[in-house]
Amino acid sequence: MKLIHIKLSILVAAFISLTSCSSDDDNNSDALTGENNVSLEFDNSMNGDDLILGASTYTNSNDETLTINRLNYIVSNFVLIDEEGNEFIYPKDESYFVISEENALNEVVLTNIPAGKYVQMRFGVGVDQEKYQQGAEGQGDFLQIAEENNMMWAWQAGYKFLNFEGTFTAPSIASSTDFKIHMGSHGSTLDNYKEVTVNLPSTAMVSDEMTPLIHLEVDANQILDGEHKIYLSEAPVVMVDEVKSPQIAENTSTMFEVHHVHNGEGGHH
């Protein structure tokens, strides 16, 4: 009897041990559930310095000294990518935003993002042809937002993806001269819409309790001083240019980098 009792005790102890391990595993589960908002903050700068409109001067590698009076751009078509490569495509009709330094539009809130661990983000700079070809009626509220922030030429000419303005001096131009860089697509012949993929330096955790803030540093110096060197002294106004407009579009697509991710706790904003 004593031997049976000992064996039974061992079995009971093993069972308790197994169930407690199972319980601990459940409690420590890293599965995220529900949905929440993801906030994106666009922090505009010039080659590492804060961008201050109208107040500071910035000298680029073209030896041109700029004072920036306007920096507006369109970001769109957001996609969040988790650690397994699954993509959550944000609803297209809600996925167009203007970032404007002068109007203090520097935050985008993506709502109802499903729970997950997101490690990359993809988005567009500008408005894609598919959206534009839906006509003025197909733009929803975004058309008015773009007009209010100086991001339209006229409907037939389309959206300005980038509106970058100020004054500059250069070795060959001593007096302060106005510059205007307006970049966008022009019909189907000049499509300057670009997609950007950025890596997140730490995982953005989304759940019913977790609502992350993704902080992007945006280096506007890249617009003129990126892979393609755009000299304002050659052309202080660039709007529809078959050579320079696509180069500016490529430069602009490289100005985004995620600086950090803050995983805040809280419910829906």
Q: Are residues 8 and 126 in the same domain?
A: no
Confidence band (pLDDT; 50, 70, 90) for 176? very high
**Is the backbone of residue 239 left (phi > 0), alpha (psi -120 to 50) or beta?**
alpha
Q: List residues bridging with 107 in a β-sheet.
A: 41
Q: Are residues 105 and 227 in the same domain?
A: yes
Q: Are residues 22 and 79 in the same domain?
A: no
Confidence band (pLDDT; 50, 70, 90) for 23? very low
| pLDDT over threshold 50, residue 6 | no
**Tokens linked to 94:** 């809600």
Q: Are residues 99 and 13 in the same domain?
A: no
Q: Are residues 114 and 4 in the same domain?
A: no
* CA–CA distances in Å: residue 53 to residues 66, 120, 182, 240: 11, 31, 17, 25
Percent of the chain scoring above 70 in pLDDT? 87
**Tokens linked to 67:** 């004072």
What is the domain extent for residue 151? 33-265
What's the confidence (pLDDT) of residue 190? 87
Residues 87 and 231: their CA atoms lie apart, in Å, by 39
Pairing relationship of beta strands 96-100 and 65-82 according to DSSP bridges: antiparallel
Per-residue pLDDT tens digits for 190-226: 899 999 999 999 999 999 999 999 999 999 999 999 9
What's the pTM?
Answer: 0.87
Output the CA torsion sign for 47, 53, 56, 59: positive
What's the confidence (pLDDT) of residue 25? 35
Q: Are residues 119 and 5 in the same domain?
A: no
Per-residue pLDDT tens digits for 35-93: 999 999 999 999 999 999 999 999 999 999 999 999 999 999 999 999 999 999 999 99
**Burial label, 215 (beta-carbon count in 10 A; 0-12, 13-18, 19+):** middle
Q: Are residues 226 and 145 in the same domain?
A: yes
Radius of gyration in angstroms for the set of CA atoms belonging to the chain, rounded to a whole number = 25
What's the confidence (pLDDT) of residue 266? 59
The structure tokens 């500008």 sit at 126
What's the confidence (pLDDT) of residue 30? 63
User: Using the 8-state DSSP alphabet, how is residue 9 labeled?
Assistant: H
Per-residue pLDDT tens digits for 94-112: 999 999 999 999 999 999 9
Residue 226 or residue 18, greater confidence: 226
* Identity of the residue numbered 16: I
The closest of 23, 2, 31 to 207, measured between CA atoms, is 31
Residues 212 and 205: their CA atoms lie apart, in Å, by 6
Per-residue pLDDT tens digits for 128-140: 999 999 999 999 9
Q: Look at the chain and report how many structural domains it folds into.
A: 2
Residues 60 and 8: their CA atoms lie apart, in Å, by 80
Q: Are residues 137 and 77 in the same domain?
A: yes
* Per-chain mean pLDDT for the chain: 89
Q: Are residues 94 and 10 in the same domain?
A: no
